[in-house]
Amino acid sequence: MSRQPSAFIPGSRAGAAAMESAAVQGRSLWDDARRRLFRNKAAVTSMIVIAVMVALALVLPFLLPFKYNEITHTDVLKAPLQSGHLLGTDTLGRDLFARILTGLRMSITIGIVATAVALVIGVAWGATAGYFGGRIDEVMMRIVDVLYSLPFIFFVIILMVTFGRNIILIFVAIGAVEWLTMSRIVRAQTMSLKNMEFIESARATGLTAGQIIGRHVVPNLLGPVVVYITLTVPGVILTEAFLSYIGMGVQEPRTSLGRLINSGVTNMEQAPWLLIFPCIVMAVLLLALNFIGDGLRDAIDPKDR
Q: Is there a domain that residue 246 lies in?
A: yes
pLDDT (0 to 100) of residue 165: 67
- CA 283 vs. chain centroid, Å, equals 15
Residues with Cβ within 8 Å of 162's Cβ and at least 6 positions away in sequence, in order, are none
- In degrees and rounded to multiples of 5, residue 95 shows phi and psi of -65, 125
CA nearest neighbour of 284 among 45, 123, 10, 89? 45
In a domain, 24, yes or no: no
CA distance 17 to 33: 21
Q: Which residues contact 33 (CB under 8 A, 6 or more apart)?
A: 223, 296, 299, 300
Q: How many CA atoms lie within 13 A of 63 on its CB side?
A: 7
Is 191 in contact with 136 (CB distance < 8 Å)? no
Q: Residue 278's pLDDT is what?
A: 92
Q: Is residue 109 part of a domain?
A: yes
305 residues of the chain, pLDDT tens digit each: 444 444 444 444 444 444 344 444 445 666 777 788 888 888 899 999 999 999 999 888 888 888 888 888 888 888 888 888 889 888 888 889 999 999 999 888 888 888 888 888 888 898 888 888 889 989 999 998 888 887 777 776 777 677 666 777 777 777 777 788 888 888 888 888 887 888 888 888 888 878 888 777 877 777 778 878 877 888 888 888 787 777 777 777 788 888 888 888 888 888 899 999 999 999 999 899 888 888 887 777 645 44
Q: What is the CATH number of the domain that holds 240?
A: 1.10.3720.10
Distance between CA 109 and CA 14 in Å, rounded? Answer: 53
128 Cβ contact list (under 8 Å, min separation 6): 136, 140, 213
What is the helix (H) or strand (E) element at residue 150, kind and residue range?
Answer: none
**Predicted local distance difference test score (pLDDT) of residue 239:** 81
**Cβ neighbours around 189 below 10 Å, total:** 20
For residues 105 and 48, what is the distance between their CA atoms, to the nearest angstrom?
Answer: 17
CB 46 within 8 A of CB 295: yes
Contact (Cβ atoms closer than 8 angstroms) between residue 85 and residue 65: no
Q: How many domains does the chain have?
A: 1
User: What CA–CA distance (Å, rounded) separates 49 from 10?
Assistant: 43
Is 202 contained in some domain? yes
**Dihedral of the CA atoms 187, 179, 278, 61 (nearest 10)?**
-110
> What pTM value is reported for the model?
0.77
> How confident is the prediction for the chain on average, in pLDDT?
80
Is residue 34 assigned to a domain?
no
- How many CB atoms are closer than 10 A to CB 248? 17
Model pLDDT for residues 39-86, shown as the tens digit of each residue:
888 889 999 999 999 999 988 888 888 888 888 888 888 888 888 888
- In a domain, residue 12? The reply is no
60 in Cβ contact with 86 (< 8 Å)? no
Rounded Cα distance between 37 and 40, Å, is 5
Q: How many CB atoms lie within 10 A of CB 77?
A: 16
In this prediction, residue 5 carries a pLDDT of: 47
What is the extent of the structural domain holding 98?
46-304
Note whether residue 57 is domain-resident.
yes
Whether 221 is covered by a domain: the verdict is yes
